[in-house]
């Protein structure tokens, strides 16, 4: 790699990735900044691309695509119109650029822009990812981090922004009882952000005891080990009884849970979540699983639940995520499990695929 200008990890197909040289991106837009990438985080979508060649749209095996969307780095150079950032600034990257002109963008929901160019997304046209030595973004998609935050920690701003978006969609309020289904990276961060929004009681649910043990030590939240051998309705009843959240004297399913934030995407978890909520409760689907599942639509209707999807992050979410990380309100350092050298990036994908660690990182290209 010593002779390459911009080494990049390009995925061509299932289990087929190569290190290739790419041109250093030029600052054709005066509002752009060129970033020297320091760390890239591995998430579930990277693993899915590695094992299945894509999500929805597949990678073109003839052209491939540069991987990676969770990233941090140092500003290398700036366009002529950039005023907020200077070379040397340490930043977390928001890895998507909307068109800024459509009705969604104008309405303040730019994350729903149909022309969004999100990092490592197959097209047409393809959008290249951050798993390179250099990466270019508009100035407003690079967020300066505080001196007390490492560039490794800054990678976690992206998943923290997802958590912020989910919690805001759930309209979590002080005094509420909130259940979070799934204790992967997103579930843990959702629980952490929920506490910052003032929830009175947060219960984290998973089928792996080791993950719940970490959640208790990191956040001090209550946890519940789900039983996959039970029906979702029976397991919901077991949880409600265990935490004294049963609704007494009423012949209906559901307990005294105000908000349910589903972060696993598993069908059993989704069904269980519906049965946990009180009438008029709020449900946010943050985890992504199979494209089609069965869930208790009658319970959703009879309890008049607010049922919402959740897609990435929108206006203000990244700003709040940066503040939470900068101020140490969400202590992301504990989530970092390993750092893999750039040239061994596929090993990091495999490690995450095996369920090892919480947030595995890939180091940027070394000097």
Percent of the chain with pLDDT over 70: 98
Q: Where are the beta strands (DSSP E) in 182-229?
A: 201-206, 222-225
Fold match flag (6-149+328-363 vs 161-309): no
pLDDT in the model for residue 114:
96
DSSP 1: -
The Cα 16–Cα 12 span in angstroms is 6
- Which are the contacts of 261, defined by CB distance < 8 A and separation ≥ 6? 166, 167, 170, 178, 179, 180, 181, 187, 190, 194, 284, 286
Residue 193 has a CB neighbour count (10 Å cut-off) of 27
Read off the pLDDT of residues 217-273 as tens digits, 9 standing for 90 and up.
999 999 999 999 999 999 999 999 999 999 866 555 678 999 999 999 999 999 999
**Longest C-alpha distance within the chain, in Å?**
74
Band (pLDDT 50/70/90 cuts) for residue 1 is confident
Cis amide linkage into residue 124, ω under 30° from 0: yes
What ranges do the domains of the chain cover?
6-149+328-363, 161-309
pLDDT in the model for residue 12:
98
Over residues 325-352, mean pLDDT: 98
pLDDT in the model for residue 105:
98
Supply 249's token pair.
Answer: 């004297």
Arithmetic mean of pLDDT over the chain = 96
Question: Yes or no: is domain 161-309 CATH 3.40.50.720?
Answer: yes
Q: Which CATH class is domain 6-149+328-363?
A: alpha beta
């Amino acid at each position: 790699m010593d002779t390459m200008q911009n080494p990049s990890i390009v995925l061509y197909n299932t289990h087929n990735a190569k290190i290739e040289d790419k041109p250093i991106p030029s600052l054709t837009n005066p509002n752009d900044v060129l970033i020297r990438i320091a760390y890239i985080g591995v998430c579930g979508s990277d693993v899915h691309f590695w094992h299945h060649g894509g999500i929805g749209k597949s990678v073109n095996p003839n052209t491939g695509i540069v991987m990676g969307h969770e990233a941090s780095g140092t500003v290398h150079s700036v366009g002529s119109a950039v005023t907020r950032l200077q070379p040397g600034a340490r930043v977390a990257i928001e890895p998507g650029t909307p068109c800024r002109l459509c009705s969604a963008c104008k309405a303040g929901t730019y994350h729903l822009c149909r022309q969004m160019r999100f990092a490592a997304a197959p097209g047409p046209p393809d959008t290249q990812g951050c798993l390179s030595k250099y990466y270019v973004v508009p100035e407003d998609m690079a967020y300066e981090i505080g001196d007390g935050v490492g560039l490794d920690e800054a990678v976690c701003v992206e998943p923290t922004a997802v958590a912020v978006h989910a919690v805001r969609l759930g309209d979590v309020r002080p005094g509420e009882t909130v259940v979070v289904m799934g204790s992967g990276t997103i579930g843990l961060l959702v629980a952490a952000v929920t506490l910052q929004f003032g929830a009175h009681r947060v219960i984290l649910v998973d089928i792996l005891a080791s993950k719940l043990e970490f959640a208790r030590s990191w956040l001090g939240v209550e946890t519940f080990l789900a039983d996959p051998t039970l029906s979702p309705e029976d397991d919901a009843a077991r949880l409600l009884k265990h935490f004294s959240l049963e609704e007494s004297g009423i012949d209906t399913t559901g307990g005294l849970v105000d908000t349910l934030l589903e972060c696993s995407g598993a069908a059993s978890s989704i069904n269980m979540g519906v049965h946990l909520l009180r009438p008029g409760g709020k449900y946010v689907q943050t985890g992504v699983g199979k494209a089609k599942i069965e869930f208790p639509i009658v319970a959703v209707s009879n309890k008049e639940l607010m049922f919402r999807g959740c897609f990435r992050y929108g206006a203000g979410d990244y700003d709040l995520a940066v503040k939470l990380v900068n101020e140490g309100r969400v202590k992301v350092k504990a989530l970092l499990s390993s750092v893999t050298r750039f040239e061994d990036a596929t090993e990091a994908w495999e490690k995450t695929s095996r369920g090892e660690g919480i947030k595995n990182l890939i180091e940027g290209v070394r000097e």
